[in-house]
């Protein structure tokens, strides 16, 4: 559920750069969301990965997969940083770039909820971001099993999932966030899947499971990035009105009140949003 935290001391990344990719077949709103998530992670952790593969990237030839690659930000930056490694980005929609692609990059179409097109044990790293609305809750075990199968022994996953929560926020904003979680649940999605991922990873067979939380300002009080997050929220909140007000039987005027609160209360409350990053390793040897 959404939470109200007024006194929490939060450290935010210093957003200094944004990515522009006109070749990507994707909306401005989605481009903005992916940009914020990408640089929130990178600037907080100082690099695009936190799994312990420094030696392999520096001296070897890592083989990496990005699931739900979107506009290809992670794939292209990693490929540029590590030209001796190979990077594959897959998505069920053709949103990735088609020009100016590094030679060690390949993009292709793939629905991760169907059997993956890759052989067993070929990747050193498999990553994905913000797919709590891409997989129904019952599909997560299958996706994790396919990732486990496609990793080399000793390979790693790196997953990033948002909290559908506005921390340090008003009661009206708490109510609105709960509506979103309820709507997703009515369609079979778990908007709070980040809470279950450690157990799901363990049940799949992963080891060395760790979680890192990244927080981002929500509102113009947080400067450029906070304004961008707020503008993104304004867009999807308007787009979701028919579904939320219709399926949850919410009066239109009440919805408008909560929508307004979402976009205004964040300023005096200095609200923020968070993402959980999970890393986990496939064992070097199968269990006895």
Contact 110, 91 (CB under 8 A): yes
Is residue 280 helix, strand or coil?
Answer: strand
CA distance 217 to 223: 8
Residues 6 or more apart whose Cβ sits within 8 Å of residue 84: 60, 61, 104
Q: What is the pTM of this model?
A: 0.83
- pLDDT tens sequence across 42-72: 655 567 788 999 999 888 789 999 999 888 8
Both tokens of residue 39?
């640089």
Q: Is the domain defined by 28-163+191-226+271-281 classed in CATH 3.40.50.150?
A: yes
Q: What is the pLDDT of residue 73?
A: 84
* Alpha-carbon separation of residue 244 from 176, 247, 273 (angstroms): 10, 6, 21
Torsion of Cα atoms, 26 then 156 then 102 then 38, to 10°: 40
SS3 percent helix, strand, coil of the chain, rounded to 5, is: 40, 20, 40
Element (H, E) at 277: strand 272-281
Q: Where are the domains positioned within the chain? A: 28-163+191-226+271-281
Q: What is the pLDDT of residue 283?
A: 97
- pLDDT tens sequence across 90-118: 999 888 888 888 999 999 999 999 999 99
What is the secondary structure of 51-100 as a DSSP string?
A: SS-HHHHHHS--EEEEET-TT-HHHHHHHHH-TTSEEEEEESS--S--SS
User: By C-alpha distance, which of 133, 135, 129 is closest to 70?
Assistant: 129
Q: What is the pLDDT of residue 35?
A: 67
């Amino acid at each position: 559920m959404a939470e109200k935290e007024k006194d929490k001391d939060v450290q935010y990344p210093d957003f200094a750069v944004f990515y522009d990719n006109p070749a990507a077949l994707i909306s401005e709103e989605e481009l903005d969301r992916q940009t914020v998530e990408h640089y929130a992670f990178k600037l907080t952790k100082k690099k695009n990965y936190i799994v312990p593969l420094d030696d392999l990237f520096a001296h070897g030839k890592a083989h990496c997969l990005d699931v739900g690659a979107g506009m290809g930000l992670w794939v292209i930056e990693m490929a540029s940083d590590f030209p001796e490694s190979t990077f594959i980005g897959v998505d069920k929609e053709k949103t990735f770039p088609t020009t100016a692609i590094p030679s060690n990059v390949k993009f292709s179409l793939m629905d991760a909820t169907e059997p993956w097109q890759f052989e067993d044990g070929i990747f050193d790293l498999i990553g994905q971001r913000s797919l709590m609305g891409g997989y129904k809750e019952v599909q997560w075990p299958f996706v994790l099993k396919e990732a486990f199968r496609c990793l080399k022994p000793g390979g790693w996953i790196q997953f990033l999932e948002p909290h559908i929560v506005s921390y340090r926020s008003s009661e009206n904003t708490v109510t609105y966030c709960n509506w979103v979680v309820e709507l997703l649940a009515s369609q079979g999605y778990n908007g709070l899947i980040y809470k279950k991922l450690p157990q799901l990873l363990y049940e799949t067979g992963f080891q060395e499971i760790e979680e890192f939380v990244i927080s981002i300002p929500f509102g113009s009080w947080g400067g450029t990035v906070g304004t961008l997050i707020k503008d993104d929220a304004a867009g999807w909140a308007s787009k979701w009105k028919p579904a939320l007000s219709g399926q949850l039987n919410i009066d239109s005027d009440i919805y408008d009140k909560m929508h307004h609160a979402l976009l205004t209360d964040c300023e005096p409350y200095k609200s923020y949003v968070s993402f959980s990053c999970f890393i986990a390793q496939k064992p070097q040897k199968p269990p006895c």
